[in-house]
Amino acid sequence: MSAIKKYYEDKLAPQLQDKQKETLVFTELAKMVTNAYTQNMASDESFCFKFNLPLSAVDNLYKILSLNPVEVGLTFKADWGNTLTAMHKDPYYQILLLLVYHGIIQKKEPFAKNALMIILLKIWNGRKSKFFKFCDKRVMKYVVSKMLTNRHGISKFENVVSLLKDHSVPTILAKYGPEVENDISKLKRLFEQTYARIFQLFIFNPKTNLLTGKKEAMGGLLPLYMKARAEGLYITKPNMRRGEDESAPGFEEYATTHNRDEIVNKTVDFIVMNKISYPINLLADINKKTNVSAKVIEQILNGVHDHNNFDILHNLVVLFLSRCNIVSVDDICNNNFSANIQKNIISSKNNDEINKIQRLIDSLLEKIFREKLQIRFDNYSVVHKIKIRNVIIFALEHNLFRVNCRSN
């Protein structure tokens, strides 16, 4: 038997059968991803961005699971051989790979996704530091907005987090997850292909320069960046979209406020980890305000509480707090909170944050309607969609108040 598989079955799996411990580990992973998202959304550095990934966060996983990094390292060495790179031998990657494996074989996709996402973040940091010791964000913004074509995967994404989370993670798991499930030795292949995909974002298609005799990359961020810099091409300030509210609170304000970070993490963790019963008077109130049937309201509220909704809910809560300029729990617990939600989210229109909120809610509703009601959300009229979106808004308002203003 594979040494890694035996170690997983003997040492890790028994601990993760304890649902409380498994939830604790999942929460730690989710927090690391959440923090990375918050950092990136607060930054204007485009693809020059480098994440702050404290080693203590991953070290804490070893402590929670009572695992010895040296033992884990010897286990990987037994399967993967002596001639390993520093990356193969890094305890940071090894514990996360074990958790990716757990998520794959236990059919717990959010587990595997979060662990793989953290691996990708660290690999991104390493390649960014290697290829861009100094990175001018003005030049990089020009590269991303003007020079990338549809052949470059980066051109389809707004920032590093969305590229890794929405593209790299699902495609890697879809391609290599089944292999790993059938044969744990393929975990090494998954890891190496994860590295290769990040590497190719920076440089690919190397060809020999006939003048110098050296191989030079023809594609990727690095050669395009060097070309733009040599030609003095850069963007100093992004253009404001028509209808965008310049005075609206931005992600910069959110990220610099520790209290908001605590509110987001606490609220979203509660929602995805608990199935709750909503008060009858609240359901009646939502029915009265939206004119959506009670049955549909109950199905929507039930569908919200799902691990798979973590990313969407996190993004929504971030935007809610930003839009309503919430800086502490006092802003949620006072009598003006509902009026604030009504004014700045429900009644507000035609600005960038509200448009993002609408897209996120629609994505969540499409999933809930498909899974819970076997109906396409797109079948509803524009007016009816607005009413149904408000069900999600009122639910998030209730949970923000419940989690931050009451003892659970």
Q: Is pLDDT above 50 for 243?
A: no
Encode pLDDT of 78-128 as tens digits.
Answer: 999 877 888 999 999 999 999 999 999 999 999 999 999 999 999 999 999
Q: Is residue 236 scored above 70 in pLDDT?
A: no
User: Among 149, 120, 153, 124, which Cα is nearest to 48's?
Assistant: 124
Question: pLDDT tens across 144-174, in order?
Answer: 888 876 666 687 788 899 899 989 999 999 9
Listed in sequence order, the DSSP H helices in 183-232 are 187-202, 221-230
Q: Which residue has the higher pLDDT, 106 or 200?
A: 106
Q: Which residues contact 160 (CB under 8 A, 6 or more apart)?
A: 40, 47, 49, 51, 124
User: Per-residue pLDDT tens for 339-362?
Assistant: 999 998 999 887 778 888 999 999
Confidence of residue 213 (pLDDT cuts 50, 70, 90): low
190 three-state secondary structure:
helix
Rounded to 5°, the CA angle 123-23-4 comes to 55
pLDDT at 322: 80
Provide the residue type at 66 as one letter.
S
DSSP string, 26-83: HHHHHHHHHHHHHHHHH---GGG------HHHHHHHHHHTT--HHHHHHHHHHHH-S-
Q: Do residues 290 and 388 touch, judged by C-beta distance below 8 A? A: yes
Return the pLDDT at 257. 37
CA–CA distance from 34 to each of 38, 88, 93, 265, 335 (Å)? 6, 26, 19, 8, 29
Residue 246's pLDDT band (boundaries 50, 70, 90)?
very low
pLDDT per residue as tens digits for the range 297-325? 998 999 999 888 888 898 898 889 888 88
Query: What average pLDDT does the chain have?
Result: 84
| pTM for the structure as a whole | 0.59
What is the pLDDT, as a whole number, of residue 244?
34
Residue 286's H or E segment, with its range, is: helix 280-290
For residue 223, the model assigns a pLDDT of: 87
Per-residue pLDDT for 255 more than 50? no
Distance between CA atoms of residues 314 and 264, nearest Å: 7
For residues 176-189, one letter each, b for 16 or more C-beta atoms within 10 angstroms of the residue's C-beta and e for the rest, the string is: bbeebeeebebbbe
Residue tagged 């991104």 (tokens) = 124
Instruction: Kindly tell me if the per-residue pLDDT of 363 is higher than 70.
Output: yes
E strand or H helix at 103: helix 91-105
- Taking 3-state DSSP, the helix, strand and coil percentages for the chain, each rounded to the nearest 5, stand at 70, 0, 25
Q: How confident is the model at residue 37 (pLDDT cuts 50, 70, 90)?
A: confident
pLDDT at 397 over 90: yes
Check residue 209 and give its pLDDT. 57
Asked if pLDDT for residue 188 goes beyond 60, the answer is yes
Model pLDDT, residue 54: 80
pLDDT of the residue at 45 = 87
pLDDT in tens, 276-295: 888 899 999 999 999 998 88
